[in-house]
Amino acid sequence: MPRPSASIERVFHALGDPTRRAIVERLSRGPVSVSKLHAPLNITLAAVVQHLQVLEGSGLVRTTKVGRVRTCHMEPKGFSAVERWINDRRTLWEKRLDHLGDLLAEEDDEA
């Protein structure tokens, strides 16, 4: 099992690149072969394969090979660690606001 922080690191890094986001956007509409994925992208097939390796390493994409055809699938659970991290930040921030609100209300009561 990779450490959660390592996984967050990889997902943020993977999605920081516009080509890799375009690949995930395409795969969210359904699985597709590497060659079909390559066709609309203005880069070499070798570059597509490299991007796919980064995406597989981050857990956002899975590829399967049947005969000579490699098919790419999106893995929605790959987003979980990042979603959790963002939610945790938001929750802490909102709790603090609630706490400030309570303190202000107490001051009003005492005034």
Long-range contacts of range 85-94, CB-CB < 8 Å, 24 or more positions apart? Answer: 85/8
The single residue among 47, 86, 103, 105 that binds a copy of itself, judged by CB under 8 A, is: 86
The single residue among 1, 16, 108, 110 that binds a copy of itself, judged by CB under 8 A, is: 16
Query: E strand or H helix at 17, and its extent?
Result: none
d(CA 68, CA 55) in angstroms, rounded, equals: 21
Whether 61 contacts 22, CB under 8 Å: no
Please give the C-alpha separations between residue 81 and each of 8, 36, 86, 88, in angstroms, as whole numbers: 6, 29, 9, 10
**Interface segment toward a copy of itself; rule CB under 8 A; list 40-48, 61-69, 91-99, 103-111:** 91-99
**Interface segment toward a copy of itself; rule CB under 8 A; list 38-46, 64-72, 87-95, 101-109:** 87-95
**53 is a site residue for a copy of itself (CB under 8 A):** no
Q: Which stretches of the chain bind a copy of itself, using CB under 8 A?
A: 5, 8-9, 12-13, 15-16, 18, 21, 24-25, 28-30, 74, 76, 79, 82-83, 85-86, 88-90, 92-94, 96
